[in-house]
Structure 1
Amino acid sequence: MMKAKEVVLAYAEALGKGDVATAFSHFSPNVVWYQPGNNRFSGAKQGSDAIGKMIGGMMDISQGTFALSPTGDLMVNGDLVAMPLRFTGKIADRNLDMQGIDLFKVEEGKITAVWLFSENQTEEDNFWGS
């Protein structure tokens, strides 16, 4: 069984290549994704279908420009893994370019929960809209 850091690295690598199916294969069937803020995508998403729908919505309204990339080493504390990253996108005349942290909980070789943190939540909320 892969260790927590290896699971998150495999997820991030697959996502970076656009291989959503492989990335999502690292999720537990009951994974919960906590999207922060007060925008159209905010709130807890249960299961990979709901998460996929949310990410698909982000890609749709940003016309495929939404992207994220790790910016530093992963940090591990037991079954928790923090990944510093940068995320960018464009919607019409609005641009998004900020730092964030994604925090993953990994149990029995699968990601069971994800919490996202944005450098400027108000700016991110304004970007995504309601």
Structure 2
Amino acid sequence: MAAKEVIMAYVEALGKGDVPTAFSYFSEEVQWHQPGNNQFSGLKKGADEIGKMISSMMEVSKGTFALTPNGNLMGNGNLVAMPLRFSGTIDDRKMDMSGIDLFQVEAGKITEIWLFSEDQEAEDTFWGK
């Protein structure tokens, strides 16, 4: 499966709420680089750490945190960039901005993910320390 096809399948599974299928596209050693200076920032290693972070994001935002692909996937060899919008609400704080998720795919599995935020300072304020 080509890199873009892997990411398309991953995003489709996430869109259906099928987290086990989505996470089946992760390599055992997958690494997730969560940017910024907030309670979720830092390197997450493995599907368990990534899953715990995403679950915590959903819990803190009372299920309002959402990601929506916002443009075509762009590929360059084993790298795939996905433009997106992400949004959520925590109490009186709201977030709605653009970003890019950059995926590295090797042997049909996602091995590394880097996230980029349109306004990292605003995202840090939204998530808090």
Could you say which residue in structure 2 is the equivalent of 1:106?
A: 105
In 1, the alpha carbon distance for the partners of 2:95 and 2:79 equals 27
Could you say which residue in structure 2 is the equivalent of 1:12?
A: 11
CA shift digits 1:63-107 (9 cap, x unpaired): 000000100000000000000000010000100100000000000
Using the size of structure 1 for normalisation, the TM-score is 0.99
Asked if residue 81 in structure 1 is aligned to residue 77 in structure 2, the reply is no
In 2, the alpha carbon distance for the partners of 1:31 and 1:115 equals 11
Could you say which residue in structure 1 is the equivalent of 2:125?
A: 126
In 2, the alpha carbon distance for the partners of 1:34 and 1:69 equals 19
Could you say which residue in structure 2 is the equivalent of 1:67?
A: 66
Could you say which residue in structure 2 is the equivalent of 1:42?
A: 41
Q: Which runs of 5+ in 1 are unaligned?
A: none
Aligned-CA RMSD value: 0.4
Instruction: Give the 3-state SS of the residue equivalent to 1:122 in structure 2.
Output: helix
CA shift digits 1:8-45 (9 cap, x unpaired): 00111111111111110000010000000000000000
Using the size of structure 2 for normalisation, the TM-score is 0.99
| % identity of equivalent residues | 69
Q: Which runs of 5+ in 2 are unaligned?
A: none
